[in-house]
Structure 1
Amino acid sequence: MRFARSKRVLRLKTIDSCFEELKDSRLVDETFTVDEVREMLDGLQVVVRGEVETELINTAHTNVLLLRQLFNQAEKFYLRLQTDISELENRDLLEQVAEFEKTDFKTPNKSNQESNKPKLAPLNEGGVSELLNKEIARLQEENDKLKTRLRTLETQAMSALDEKTRAERALKDIQKVQGEQQEINCLEDTVAALKEDYEKSLSANAASQKDLQENLVSAKHDLLRIQEQLNLAEKELDKKFQQTAAYRNMKEMLTKKNDQIKDLRKKLQRYEPDE
């Protein structure tokens, strides 16, 4: 209340200074028009409104900070505080607070008054404190149980993770073996297909070789037959050529020429024996 009273007094002084400033700065003439008076009042209204609004906002925010401190302290002792907004407009209580403020600041001997004011009863072990201690003990015990359970769950989770890791490794090994087996099967199928193709090729080559041999033998026979036919035809042609007149004439001419050459050689040997 002293803090609020000091802030209120400071704000009232500020408002008074606004009026004094208006008097000193504007009220220098003896007569004013209606418009001039209205202008001065409007300006004063704006200034006073701003000061009052600032004070109200500051008071509200200050109360929020105060309540926040109280509630934070209450949370440390697991207390649940509740407020009743309707009590803030109770005229009787507001009058009691105003009377309390008046007597508090008007009493000269404040030390005696402070000692005579009623005090809050301290928390004893048999009342709320005992309940709080029991609640704290219960929460600590529950917290210990939760920690134990958490450690158990962590152990189980680690075991499950290890099992999962081993299972994944085993699965990878199985997949690797299956992949290798599939490759082996593919290679076996490829080898079998190549072997089958090779056997087919051998069979085809054997058949083609046999056909070639047969064709070669047949070609040889045909060649011999054709050569024989050619020899016969050649003999036949020679025989027929020898029976022609031209052949006989040519033969006679060659015979005569040979005889002439013989005679010439004899004469030549007679005249030129050394050569």
Structure 2
Amino acid sequence: MAELGLNEHHQNAVINYMRFARSKRALRLKTVDSCFQDLKDSRLTEDTFTVDEVTEMLDGLKIVVHSEVESELINTAYTNVLLLRQLFCQAEKWYLKLQTDISDLENRELLEQVAEFEKTEFTSSGRKVNSEIIKHKLAPLNEGGMSELLSKEIARLQDENDKLKARLRTVETQATSALEEKLKLEKFLKDLKKVPEDQKEVAALEATLTSLKADFEKNLTVSSEKQKTLHDHLVSTKHDLLKVQEHLSLTEKELEKKFQETAAYRNMKEILTKKNEQVKELRKRLSQYEAED
């Protein structure tokens, strides 16, 4: 007996779907057969036909068959989508993420295995259940027992996942900071490589600064010497001025002394003395007259 590698429950679900697909396929094949039969009944009523008439009949038949086959393929695709939706919805309730491999849908070996499985199920043991269509619905989710424990475990795992995501964001932030620091260091290293080129300019500036400093110190020394010379000259000039003043004072005294020794000075002094005595006498007389009055 061919197997699909599934447990009994899932294999029964596959058998039910294959039975559904077989019934739809048989219905569409009957529809295609009826298209040909309708053509025979409605158009093949004469013994001979022209090429144009045969072409017209075949074109009409092609259109009808094309429409029926297209409708069947579209319906099959939509049916498969609905089946996948049922499975995905049930998986999402259990926080599962199912994966599909589209390439396996064209795997010739697997397709032959499915064909063998269908042939085995519906030609031998399948005859026993042809008249019994087993209908299974998706198992409901129970909130108690193992389901409750599983829900708690899922909640715990989600919480742990959130913490890991937060930690991942922190690590990403730290990694970004480290990358920025690395870029800064690389830029700094590039700048350091440029230092030998800039050292010439720095050396030139230092030499210029040293030269200016030497000139400044030289000028400062010269200014100090000039200032000292000026100060000494000022002191010497002041001393000379004092000497000149002293000399002038002595000369003035000598001149006054010599002038006092002249006859004119003595005569003038005698005249002034007499005049002073006359003035005193006149003041005395005047005071006597004022007393009498």
TM-score by length of 2: 0.40
- Pick 1 or 2: higher relative contact order, CA cutoff 8 A, min separation 6: 2
